Structure 1
Amino acid sequence: MDFGWGTEDNDPASHPGSPHRPRKLFSRADHFIITRDGPTGRRRMEVFSKQGYTVLKFSGPATAGFLSNSFQSVWTLDDINKPTTTFHETDGMGSVTLTRLHEYFVTAGYHRPGERKLVQKLDFFILSFCCLSYFLAYLDRSNLSNAYVSGMKEDLNFQGDQLNQINTCFTIGYVIGQIPSNLSLHYIKPRYFFPSMMIIWAGLTMVTAATHSPTSIMVIRFFLGIAESTTFVGSHYILGSWYTERELGKRSGIFTASGLAGTMIGGFIQSGIHSGMDGLNGLQGWRWLFIIDGIITLPVAIYGLLLFPDTPATTTAFYLSLTEREMALSRVSLLEQPQTSESDAITTASNLEPKLNSNPEATVAPQKHQKTFTLSFAKRVLCSQEWWGFVILWIIAGETESFSSNALLALYMKASSPVSDAGESDPKPRYTISQLNNYPSGVAAVGIASTLFWATLTDLLGGKRYLVGYFIAITGVITSAMILSVSQGMVSGPGGDLFGPKERAVVFGAYYWAGAVYACQATFFAWANDVMRDPKYYDPVFRSVVLAGMNMGSNAVNAWWSIVFYGASMAPWFTRGMYAMIATSIALGIWTAGLSYVTTRTARERKKERDNTLEACCVANGISKAREGKDKRAEDG
């Protein structure tokens, strides 16, 4: 069930007998909602516009009369939803009301029969698989650091920054695979491609347990990076294909949080394995960690192969009825719907493109679905503001995660000076193996809370994802300054240890707080999905390439960034990295402001273009414009 939306001006010029009916313009809309013009009416229109409904302006009290012949029903807003007639505007943050809170958390904005059930199915089958796969991917990545502090460093005789070099090899493979992997989703069904990559990385993870040198791990991690390259951006592409703007932030947040859960739980898993399996069958505990990690990945791959629903346009999932598949397409403005001619275009309430044979000049040709990666397509992507805007955004934002992604807290603890008890000549490590694995898990826990909070809040605020950029900029500057202030007041000694528990508490607090920057993963990729949602200007391949480019650019920079600023040999203070974090945080705040301005301006221009086109279509169909110079009403009752 689709809805149109319009306003009524009480202009007596129109009459019920008008032969012009808007049948072609709203050929797929079932119901039409009308509100009167005026301040309150315009506020209502604004709210519905943000929810994805097309807003049109009609004139005449008889509007409902001739519209009723074209739709199943015509209602006024007051008749169908009394609570939404009251709006309370606030400065800066937009309009946030009890009604909106109720709709977001209770009704979830589902007005179409069967829509809630559809979304519940999508959450169960899509979100569960994406979250499990990302959880396992991050579990693998974090387990390298956990193994390093749990005996692998000594067993394999790591020297200098070899840990960072291994991470760089992984990153190089990860970068190389970004765009090819995301493009593969348009040639190979996701339910085949995702599980295949998971099986490959499960095998490579288990092989890591048999290595005897850092060099061998470098080779394995390179190919592991290629296998895992589609997990993050590929899942964001799939989420953007199925979920609407008001749903996407929260789902992206849950997806990202699942990866952070892998980081957090990885420490506890390694701690348990080290205490319970170290030496079992002659294998060290850190080797068992990689074996178990690989084994638990395989059942999830099989689950995806059997039940993942692909995309709305290609799904053959047995648990989705034909009606649900059609609804899934209409919900996301046909992001996945191939359109090769005007006759193939489908008009919905959120994408009402006119099909007027009587007025060819008013017809807007639909965007064709890009099927191949050609030179002209590559040029179109590279010359777009979306590519440069979001790729650079994520390059900067990705480096604000450096404290957490490079496990600086664990390295700080590992490099801390040993503790000598009275009468002992051989000092003990300050932190035990369990503490080295468990304490850094708090960083991921903060990241999960921050991610879910900001993802939900930006959904509630109508997609204001840019707010997260400002929060992260402030967080990066303050946490870096906290660590710098402590490091410059330290007492010289073995390992450059702090001289008291208060100073150590400041460092721990700074690293835990820095975990909050993980919120940018969900919100910034949801932001990109939101901007590239309109099928008139973007096709699915364009969107998938930009999403892949974001992660590719960030990881390409991170491949050398972590070595230059956060090498393991720089522990425990990473002074150079602290200053780099301050610089990137400031840059992120500036770039976020600029990108927000550009995307808002572009959206405004396109809305104006769409409104002009729709107005021309209304005129062509006999729906007159409101009279110029009509007295403005103060209130509409």
Structure 2
Amino acid sequence: MVSFKFGRTALARHHVRSPDEKALVRRLDIFLLTFGCLSQVIKYLDQQNINNAYVSGMKEDLNLLGNELNLFTTYFNAAYCIMLIPSQIILTYVRPSFWLPGLEIAWGVLTGLIAMCNSAKQIYVLRVFLGLCESSAWPGMMTLFMYWYTPTELAKRMGFYQSCQAAGQMMSGALQTAITNTMEGHHGLAGWRWLFVINAIITVVWGFLGFFMIPDLPNRPNPRAFWFKKVHAELSMERLARNGRAEPKRMTWAGVKRTFSGWVVYFIAVLYIATVLGTYGYVYFSLFLKALKRPDGSPRWSVSQVNAIPIGGSAINVVFVWVWALLSDFLETRWTLIVLQGIIGIIPCIIMSIWTRHPTSVDVSAAYASYFIAHTCLGTAPLIFAWLSDLIPQDPEARTLVVGVAVAGYYAISAWSQVLVWPASQAPYYRYGWQSALALLVLVIVMTCVLRFIDVRYLLPKRVAFQNALDAEVVAGGSLKNDEERPKDVDVKTPTTMVVAFLKTMRSFCQLSGAPAQIDHFIPELLQATDNEESEATASSKQIVGQGGRRLRSSTAQDPGSKKKHSVSGRVHEIDLSFFGSMSELTSKCELLCFD
């Protein structure tokens, strides 16, 4: 029977971090997470400023009378969608410390050029190139987090990173308000133009720092990252193995076929698209405020107020994204919190669906409350992708591709759906926006429960098998193959298992030939250790929660002089050379005992 109770995420294990591991995580937070978060703030400053500029003078200065604002978003989203999956693939071949900061510098320059535009057509062109460059930022950083953080660390970091979107929105509104009041007309430029100039400078400067702050990948560290040492790479690889994660690898055609032949890519993509589109109404809070009129026809809110009021919603967004992420790691569950956010998101959809049809019979305060409530359920994306990392830890190619497919799918649909569902000309009385959001959130709840069933029924056994393979050092001499390529009930034969089988056969043969005392004199410890390890492996296959990595580390806790470090497919192991010496000696003595 499938259980829907709280449980440890994937194969997350109770592990007390050593001082060295704590120091590594602190360094990752200081450099990798800080760069990602500030880049996210800057990215959303650049994206959100088009909305703030529109309500702060751009509409009048450029004579924008139709759905130009929607088209600005449409062109950006279309380009973003086109480049997103190729960018994810390129990220597996080009160092992230080159790719991500380089594109950030490029979009910073493009942002500054918007300040020089005098027509909507010019902005359309720049928005296309902005979409191409910015497509790498969010999915690329989310993918890096999956490689560097463990399951009990991941959701918090993803949530903190996601909350920086709201921080960017808050800063954008506050910055636009300050510019409107202080720099309007300075050096002959309108306040909305100064906003793009300032953003461009910030973006370019921060992009250059990324060349040194991004550590690249655990098995291919960044040589320019002065803060990242060789020991950190070895410890990072150990953390991957301990938590059942395969090391990063380049995208291959086999990986692409494997990804699209499984369940996960379709469920995660649809789930992500539905959650983002289902909660998208909050984006139009400023247009809602701008469209409200007093009885005499004058605007209810000034330009400064239109930019300032949504800051409160963004603050709520930041707090609740943190709350959901912290709860996810603390309770060690993803799917339950996704369902809960979907239920909360339905409430403003129902209220606004009624208000837009009957604005005179429903007080406008209900609409204000709905927009603020909508900001409390925007923490689904970090949980979805943290869940993705838990679902298929053994397949880094699939994880990278699924992130790209999910985000690209959203932008592909958003490129045309926003003009139809949320047209600016209908603000604030959208005819279909809130009703469609309601339907999507119901879909989110249903699909999350179905994916949970698939996870427990079909995906969990594969993760257990992969973790057992890592623990027992079953697979050697190459990267671990995806478990989907292996029959479920067929044991994987490796040099280690073949040697053990050989020794057991030799012991049985020697016992039959009358030499049990001699053979037991030479190999009791080896065979006893083998029997114990097999018993542990059998027990761990029945119980998910284990003490990961102990067997791997216990083999290195003997005489340091008899060990030598050896790298297999990027994973650093310590091999007891005296073991191999005793193996050859035992083999020769067994031959003498049994065939003399």
Maintained 8 Å contact 1:110/1:116: no
| Deviation sequence 1:340-362 (CA, Å, 0-9, x none) | xxxxxxxxx4459xxxxxxxxxx
| Deviation sequence 1:606-636 (CA, Å, 0-9, x none) | 256468876987997233759x9xxxxxxxx
Instruction: Give 2:291's aligned residue.
Output: 415
| Deviation sequence 1:359-411 (CA, Å, 0-9, x none) | xxxxxxxx89753543x44322221212111111111112123112xx32111
Alpha-carbon distance change, 625 to 524 in structure 1, aligned in 2, over 3 angstroms:
closer
1:57-68 alignment runs, 5 A limit: none
Aligned counterparts of 2:189 and 2:10: Cα–Cα separation in 1:
61
Aligned counterparts of 2:385 and 2:229: Cα–Cα separation in 1:
30
After TM superposition, the structure 1 stretch with the greater mean CA deviation from structure 2, 286-295 or 307-316, is 307-316
1:54-453 alignment runs, 5 A limit: 110-315=16-221, 316=223, 317-333=225-241, 349-351=242-244, 371-374=250-253, 376-404=254-282, 407-418=283-294, 420=296, 428-453=298-323
| Deviation sequence 1:400-434 (CA, Å, 0-9, x none) | 23112xx32111111112454xxxxxx53211011
Aligned mate of 2:460, from 604, 621, 630? 604
Maintained 8 Å contact 2:166/2:315: yes
Aligned mate of 1:454, from 324, 346, 350? 324
Maintained 8 Å contact 2:150/2:243: no
Alpha-carbon distance change, 153 to 461 in structure 1, aligned in 2, over 3 angstroms:
same
Q: CA deviation at 1:514?
A: 0.6
Determine if the alignment matches structure 1 residue 515 to structure 2 residue 375. yes
Q: CA deviation at 1:304?
A: 0.8
Q: CA deviation at 1:274?
A: 0.6
Aligned counterparts of 2:58 and 2:383: Cα–Cα separation in 1:
36
Alpha-carbon distance change, 166 to 625 in structure 1, aligned in 2, over 3 angstroms:
closer
Aligned counterparts of 2:61 and 2:8: Cα–Cα separation in 1:
61
Q: CA deviation at 1:298?
A: 1.6
Residue 409 of structure 1 aligns with an amino acid whose one-letter code is F
Maintained 8 Å contact 1:233/1:547: yes
Q: CA deviation at 1:198?
A: 0.8
Percent identity of paired positions between Structure 1 and Structure 2: 29
Maintained 8 Å contact 2:31/2:213: yes
Q: CA deviation at 1:260?
A: 1.3
Maintained 8 Å contact 2:11/2:464: no
Alpha-carbon distance change, 150 to 179 in structure 1, aligned in 2, over 3 angstroms:
same
After TM superposition, the structure 1 stretch with the greater mean CA deviation from structure 2, 215-224 or 377-386, is 377-386
After TM superposition, the structure 1 stretch with the greater mean CA deviation from structure 2, 224-233 or 606-615, is 606-615
Determine if the alignment matches structure 1 residue 525 to structure 2 residue 385. yes
Maintained 8 Å contact 1:183/1:541: no
Instruction: Give 1:550's aligned residue.
Output: 406
Instruction: Give 2:12's aligned residue.
Output: 51
Residue 313 of structure 1 aligns with an amino acid whose one-letter code is N
Alpha-carbon distance change, 330 to 447 in structure 1, aligned in 2, over 3 angstroms:
same
Q: CA deviation at 1:159?
A: 2.3
Residue 383 of structure 1 aligns with an amino acid whose one-letter code is S
Alpha-carbon distance change, 154 to 47 in structure 1, aligned in 2, over 3 angstroms:
closer
Q: CA deviation at 1:266?
A: 0.5
| Deviation sequence 1:270-289 (CA, Å, 0-9, x none) | 00001101111111110111
Maintained 8 Å contact 1:400/1:517: no
1:479-490 alignment runs, 5 A limit: 479-490=348-359
Q: CA deviation at 1:541?
A: 2.9
Residue 365 of structure 2 aligns with an amino acid whose one-letter code is A
| Deviation sequence 1:15-62 (CA, Å, 0-9, x none) | xxxxxxxxxxxxxxxxxxxxxxxxxxxxxxx97994337xxxxxxxxx
SS of the counterpart of 2:217?
coil
SS of the counterpart of 1:390?
helix
| Deviation sequence 1:554-598 (CA, Å, 0-9, x none) | 111111121111010111121311110111011111011111111
Q: TM-score, normalised by structure 1?
A: 0.71
Alpha-carbon distance change, 585 to 239 in structure 1, aligned in 2, over 3 angstroms:
same
Aligned counterparts of 1:48 and 1:519: Cα–Cα separation in 2:
18
SS of the counterpart of 2:326?
helix
Aligned counterparts of 1:625 and 1:312: Cα–Cα separation in 2:
32
Aligned counterparts of 1:398 and 1:533: Cα–Cα separation in 2:
24
Q: TM-score, normalised by structure 2?
A: 0.75
Alpha-carbon distance change, 577 to 330 in structure 1, aligned in 2, over 3 angstroms:
same
| Deviation sequence 1:150-171 (CA, Å, 0-9, x none) | 0111111112212111101000
Maintained 8 Å contact 1:402/1:562: no
After TM superposition, the structure 1 stretch with the greater mean CA deviation from structure 2, 410-419 or 241-250, is 410-419
SS of the counterpart of 2:72?
helix
Q: CA deviation at 1:505?
A: 1.8
Q: CA deviation at 1:600?
A: 2.1
Aligned mate of 1:467, from 336, 340, 346? 336
Maintained 8 Å contact 1:419/1:429: no
Aligned residues: 475
Instruction: Give 1:19's aligned residue.
Output: none
Maintained 8 Å contact 1:249/1:456: yes
Maintained 8 Å contact 2:109/2:204: no
Maintained 8 Å contact 1:242/1:328: yes
Aligned counterparts of 1:566 and 1:181: Cα–Cα separation in 2:
29
Alpha-carbon distance change, 206 to 369 in structure 1, aligned in 2, over 3 angstroms:
closer
Aligned counterparts of 1:590 and 1:411: Cα–Cα separation in 2:
32
Aligned counterparts of 2:423 and 2:407: Cα–Cα separation in 1:
22
Aligned counterparts of 2:92 and 2:329: Cα–Cα separation in 1:
28
